Amino acid sequence: MKNKGAASAISPVMRQLATYIARAGGKALPRAVLEKTKHHLLDTLAAMVSGSRLLPGKKAIGYVRTLGGTPEACVIGSRLTITAEHAALANGMLAHADETDDSHAPSLCHPGCAIVPAALAMGERERSSGTRLLRAVALGYDVAARLNMSLNAYEFREDGHSTHSFGPAFGAAAAAGSLAGLNYDQARHLLSYTAQQASGVSCWMRDEEHIEKAFDFGGMPARSGVAAAAMVSHGMSAVEDVFSGERNFFVAYGRAPQPEVLVRDLGKTFEVMNTNIKRWSVGSPIQAPLDGLLELIRAHGIKAGDVERVAVRVAHQAANTVDNRSMPDICMQHMVSIMLLDGIVTFESSHDEKRMKHPRVLEVRKRVELYGDDELTRVMPSRQGKVALKLKDGREFNIHVKAVRGTADNPMARAEVDEKAYHLMAPILGQKRARALCDAVWSLDKLNDARKLRPLLRG
Amino acid sequence: MAKARTSAAISPLMRDLARYISNALRKPLPAAVSEKTRHHTLDTIAAMVSGSRLLPGRMAVSYVKTLGGKREATVVGSRLVTSAVHAALANAMCAHADETDDSHAPSLTHPGCGIVSAALAMAERMGRGGDPLLRAVALGYDVSSRLTLSLGGADFRQTGHLTHSFGPTFGAAAASAALLELDADRVRHVLSYTAQQVSGLSTYPRDTEHIEKAFDFGGMAARNGVTAAAMVAAGCTAVEDVFSGERNFFIAYDESRRSGRPPPQPQMLVHGLGRNYEIMRTNIKRWSVGSPIQAPLDSLYEIIRAHGVKAGDVENITVRVSTTGADTTDNRDMPDICMQHMCAVMLLDGIVTFESAHDEKRMKHPAVLALRRRVELIRDEELQKLIPERHGIVELVLKDGRRLRHHTRAVRGTAQNPVSRAEVDEKGYHLMAPILGAKRARALCDAVWNLPALKDVRRLRPLLRA
């Protein structure tokens, strides 16, 4: 490599970004960031475990089983241990097998499903400590979100590209590169290999079985990011600065790209803090009403039998999307009934189709009314909801949920993340291992080797 | 899948393309196409074998060695048999480790390095015969060229995208899908997985060690194409028609607003399919040297053969090429891009091989230097006007006073002046013999010529390994 000649041609943005990536493994996270990173790591692990039993997850595991490879990292929910690249591909598809995984609204992506699998696979390969793993994940979120925002995520999607794979591919690469211990020069090469592989068109919404979508959002960016890191760590060199100079990344992509956004507030604003966790494994418009209902149930000790009538209000288009649908997790009336009957909603109950015909559920559902609301339509994209409850004893309760629980404006507590994850994992791992895995994530900063998680992750 | 609902939404274009890909293995190639496909298969295998000893190839082979995998396909030039996806990645990087591989000028691609490696790996995985391999390779060239042309070729590169990976990725996927014998419905899904993965930037001229470039042009395209087909074969489904409908592939890569050039032409994807075989328009590089040196070496070789000229007979040589061609190759440090040196070597040896074109020590040899002093390189304004056609004029003055002149208008190996089987064989043999040994290199050349009779491509393994 002609380092001397090339050094002068490195842009300040690239210099800062590559330096940040190369140093992230050695830099402690602020306490709140460390805590939030654990939330997202556990939330993604839970999505993977649960996803391993859904069609896209089963197909992903079936596919990588045909490939084989050096036993570097485990495929969650299976007995398979294979090459980090393939484990990341499969686990990425598992994490987005359903829609339970996290999301970063300003950059229009689901960071966890690509970044956490890439970090976990590379962490296992490199026998990284839990602390390093968490730092790599936080780094991944920072790079993924900024990459999309540098392209103006909303415009970029409008032009037909997939924000859900571009940013996360860079995030996965940064996380994997950090765990592989890449230095400053290598970090620049890592970004070049990633830029060459960054891809995706936004017609994924036409995918019917959610298998390709799981690849597009999770498996593909995780695979590409890990491949970039593994190739550079093996000694492969690349273009010195893919973000500036002749025909660079920003020439090919973006209407009016802002490369400087790649490093804006890096080390000050941690994007994992701006990432949403989905509290309920149901469609987005149903989140706010379930939040409100749970609040009323807990505050007043309400039972399904006490209820005379429930009126739910959401934005007009939201009401259209979830009005008396045939799938449980996207049917407002059904999910409200389940919450009243069970006092909670789990992944299992929101995916139990049989129960849609159960007499007790149908009896409660008759009392649920759904309305489109002008005021709530005006505040979109903030997905607000109102619940009005009338009890048989004449009492009435009203609640207006302005920030959905789990979103950046109203983050979940550790206990809530734990509860969601535990309920997602227990049916597959068993209660004991699900409990142990949750606890292992909470004390991840004390773990000295990521491979020690394996016995808890396997199916 | 809601088949009944979606089948209506599939465009005629997608239907034609998917059907063509799924039928390709059953359809015999015209004799001339079969012959030319063998030329490109041998030419690419030779580039792989030779590339396995160069830095990008060595890095690729040692990289996939760390990954491991099912024993499905050979990594050329090594003892390794690994999963088709990783064998394709490594072999493709070997095939573009140098610049000896083929090229399709109108689509700005190097089709062989991405497509032949994918097809070879998948044919090995499936234990297919030589004929299916050749049909899959020809198919790959057809899909690859048309894809990049549908996006505007040179215009697409102008906006920063990489024609050299876009087309070949689809070509590798089509070849792989055909060898897996996927039906038309599943081929549509393969094309969707390919469209999601296709990528690449034209920053590659800034890559100094040629490793990333080998990945961008060859390895990445082959890996992604094989992955798309293998995933669908494993039961993964996808979007039914990625080439039409809401937010389809051609919307994302429509750069007409920025470039002011015409928008993509999806119809190009199936234009002349089954009639015009793009492999017939693909160039083979006769000499493993920089492009501007090709025509003068053709002329020199012609003069040497026609008049029995020896180096000792030569008083002086005048070489004329375009001004840019002359600037690129004038007294350079590396042998394969130095015009004066390569002309001297051709006169001394009566031939140029990959080895002699890469022999740096010989640049200081007294006999070479003595002859090199007699070579004069002239920047010709007239020839500059003919670019992108790369003409060359060589004039020899012999010690006995004779003057010999030759003008090469179409470089040997280009579509306008294709090489014969014997010439491809000679190039392939010379590239492979130093690595495989004379006997195996000979056997491998012969095996490619006899591919239509080969029952199982895996039988090539003993010849490809080293």
Show residues of chain B in contact with A196, CB under 8 Å: 162, 165, 199-201, 212, 215-216, 220
Q: What domains sit in chain B, N to C, each tagged with a CATH number?
A: 3-281 (1.10.4100.10), 291-408 (3.30.1330.120)
- DSSP category for residue B161: B
Asked if B249 lies within 8 A of A246 by C-beta distance, the reply is no
Total domains in chain A come to 2
Domain match, A197 and A55 both = yes
Q: Is-contact A297 A126, C-beta < 8 A?
A: no
Which is it for the CA torsion B164, B167, B173, B177, positive or negative?
Answer: negative
Asked if B197 lies within 8 A of A252 by C-beta distance, the reply is no
Look at residue A117 and tell me if it is in a domain: yes
Show residues of chain B in contact with A193, CB under 8 Å: 212, 215
Domain match, A38 and A79 both = yes
Measure in Å the smallest separation between the Cα of A314 and chain B Cα atoms: 28
Q: Is-contact A147 A251, C-beta < 8 A?
A: no
Domain match, A34 and A115 both = yes
Q: Does position A5 have pLDDT exceeding 70, yes or no?
A: no
β-pairing, A307-314 with A368-372? parallel
Look at residue A254 and tell me if it is in a domain: yes
Asked if B246 lies within 8 A of A206 by C-beta distance, the reply is yes
Least CB–CB distance from A220: residue in B159, B196, B252: B196
Average pLDDT over residues B418-441: 95
Q: Identity (one letter) of the amino acid at A316?
A: H
pLDDT digits (tens, 9 = 90+) for B35-52: 999 999 999 999 999 999
Place A1 in a pLDDT band, splitting at 50, 70 and 90.
Answer: very low
Measure the N-to-C terminal CA separation of chain A; round to a whole number of Å: 45
B28 touches chain A (CB under 8 A): no
B239 touches chain A (CB under 8 A): yes
Give CA–CA dist B452/A295, Å, rounded.
73
Q: Which helix (H) or strand (E) holds B74?
A: strand B73-74
Place B8 in a pLDDT band, splitting at 50, 70 and 90.
Answer: low
Residues 6+ apart with CB under 8 A from B429: B46, B441, B442, B445
Asked if B196 lies within 8 A of A204 by C-beta distance, the reply is yes
Measure in Å the smallest separation between the Cα of A402 and chain B Cα atoms: 32
Domain match, A50 and A68 both = yes
Q: Does position B424 have pLDDT exceeding 70, yes or no?
A: yes
Q: Does position B371 have pLDDT exceeding 90, yes or no?
A: yes
Show residues of chain B in contact with A247, CB under 8 Å: 160, 201-203
Q: Does position A54 have pLDDT exceeding 70, yes or no?
A: yes
Per-window interface: B 316-345 vs A, CB < 8 A: none
Look at residue A407 and tell me if it is in a domain: no
Least CB–CB distance from B69: residue in A68, A197, A208: A68
The domain boundary, picked from A401, A419, A448, lies at A401
Least CB–CB distance from A245: residue in B196, B199, B206: B206
A435: its two tokens: 């409990």
Look at residue A195 and tell me if it is in a domain: yes
Least CB–CB distance from A239: residue in B68, B196, B203: B203
- Identify from A122, A125, A156, A196 which residue to disrupt to test chain B contact, counting B C-beta atoms within 10 A and taking the largest count: A196
Domain match, A104 and A130 both = yes
Per-window interface: B 425-444 vs A, CB < 8 A: none
Look at residue A187 and tell me if it is in a domain: yes
Measure in Å the smallest separation between the Cα of B361 and chain A Cα atoms: 21
Closest-approach residue (CA) in chain A for B9: A206
Closest-approach residue (CA) in chain A for B69: A69
Q: Is-contact B138 B111, C-beta < 8 A?
A: no
Show residues of chain B in contact with A189, CB under 8 Å: 212
Q: Does position B2 have pLDDT exceeding 70, yes or no?
A: no
Place A8 in a pLDDT band, splitting at 50, 70 and 90.
Answer: low
Domain match, A260 and A332 both = no
Q: Is-contact B160 B147, C-beta < 8 A?
A: no
Domain match, A329 and A254 both = no
The DSSP annotation for A408-428 comes to TTSPPPHHHHHHHHHHHHHHH
A164: its two tokens: 């859900």
Look at residue A427 and tell me if it is in a domain: no
The DSSP annotation for A48-105 comes to HHHHTTSHHHHHHHHHHHHH---S-EEPTTSS-EE-HHHHHHHHHHHHTSSS-S-BBG
Q: Which helix (H) or strand (E) holds B404?
A: strand B403-408
Per-window interface: B 249-288 vs A, CB < 8 A: 249, 251-254
Domain match, A46 and A131 both = yes
pLDDT of the residue at A3: 42
Asked if A59 lies within 8 A of B235 by C-beta distance, the reply is yes
Asked if A2 lies within 8 A of B245 by C-beta distance, the reply is no
> What is the average pLDDT value for chain B, to the nearest integer?
95
Measure in Å the smallest separation between the Cα of B153 and chain A Cα atoms: 14
Domain match, A152 and A66 both = yes
Place A2 in a pLDDT band, splitting at 50, 70 and 90.
Answer: very low
Least CB–CB distance from A160: residue in B196, B209, B251: B251
Output Rg (C-alpha) for chain B, integer angstroms: 23
Asked if B237 lies within 8 A of A70 by C-beta distance, the reply is no
Measure in Å the smallest separation between the Cα of B219 and chain A Cα atoms: 11
Look at residue A419 and tell me if it is in a domain: no
Q: Does position B5 have pLDDT exceeding 60, yes or no?
A: no
β-pairing, B375-380 with B392-398? unpaired
Domain match, A232 and A105 both = yes
Show residues of chain B in contact with A188, CB under 8 Å: none
Q: Using CB atoms within 10 A of its CB, is residue A265 exposed (0-12), middle (13-18) or buried (19+)?
A: exposed
Average pLDDT over residues A117-130: 98
pLDDT of the residue at B4: 40
Q: Is-contact B36 B418, C-beta < 8 A?
A: yes
A176: its two tokens: 């994997």
CATH of the domain at A380: 3.30.1330.120
Which domain does A335 fall in, by range? 284-401
Least CB–CB distance from B193: residue in A212, A238, A247: A212
The DSSP annotation for B179-213 comes to HTT--HHHHHHHHHHHHHH---BTTGGG-SSSHHH
Domain match, A262 and A288 both = no
Give CA–CA dist B125/B142, Å, rounded.
23
B195 touches chain A (CB under 8 A): yes
pLDDT digits (tens, 9 = 90+) for A227-271: 999 999 999 999 999 999 989 999 999 999 999 999 999 999 999
Give CA–CA dist B294/B274, Å, rounded.
32
Place A274 in a pLDDT band, splitting at 50, 70 and 90.
Answer: very high
Q: Is-contact B332 B360, C-beta < 8 A?
A: no
E strands, A209-329, in order: 307-314
Least CB–CB distance from B2: residue in A193, A207, A208: A208
Asked if B1 lies within 8 A of A208 by C-beta distance, the reply is yes
Show residues of chain B in contact with A7, CB under 8 Å: none
Least CB–CB distance from B68: residue in A66, A70, A245: A70
pLDDT digits (tens, 9 = 90+) for A190-203: 999 999 999 999 99
Domain match, A229 and A143 both = yes
B215 touches chain A (CB under 8 A): yes
Measure in Å the smallest separation between the Cα of A124 and chain B Cα atoms: 14
pLDDT digits (tens, 9 = 90+) for A227-236: 999 999 999 9
B69 touches chain A (CB under 8 A): yes
Per-window interface: B 135-154 vs A, CB < 8 A: none
- Pairwise pLDDT comparison (A281 vs A277), residue with the higher score: A277
Asked if A252 lies within 8 A of B160 by C-beta distance, the reply is yes
Measure in Å the smallest separation between the Cα of A10 and chain B Cα atoms: 12
Look at residue A12 and tell me if it is in a domain: yes
CATH of the domain at A39: 1.10.4100.10
pLDDT of the residue at B389: 83
The domain boundary, picked from A401, A416, A449, lies at A401
pLDDT digits (tens, 9 = 90+) for A283-324: 889 999 999 999 999 999 999 999 999 999 999 988 988 999
Give CA–CA dist B194/B251, Å, rounded.
16
Show residues of chain B in contact with A242, CB under 8 Å: 201, 203
Average pLDDT over residues A113-134: 98
Q: Does position B66 have pLDDT exceeding 90, yes or no?
A: yes
Q: Is-contact B405 B426, C-beta < 8 A?
A: no
Alpha carbon distances (Å) from B3 to A210, B16, B206, B249: 15, 18, 47, 21
pLDDT of the residue at A284: 86
Measure in Å the smallest separation between the Cα of A252 and chain B Cα atoms: 4
Residues 6+ apart with CB under 8 A from B34: B28, B134, B138, B452
User: Rounded to the nearest 5°, which phi and psi values hold at B379?
Assistant: -80, 115
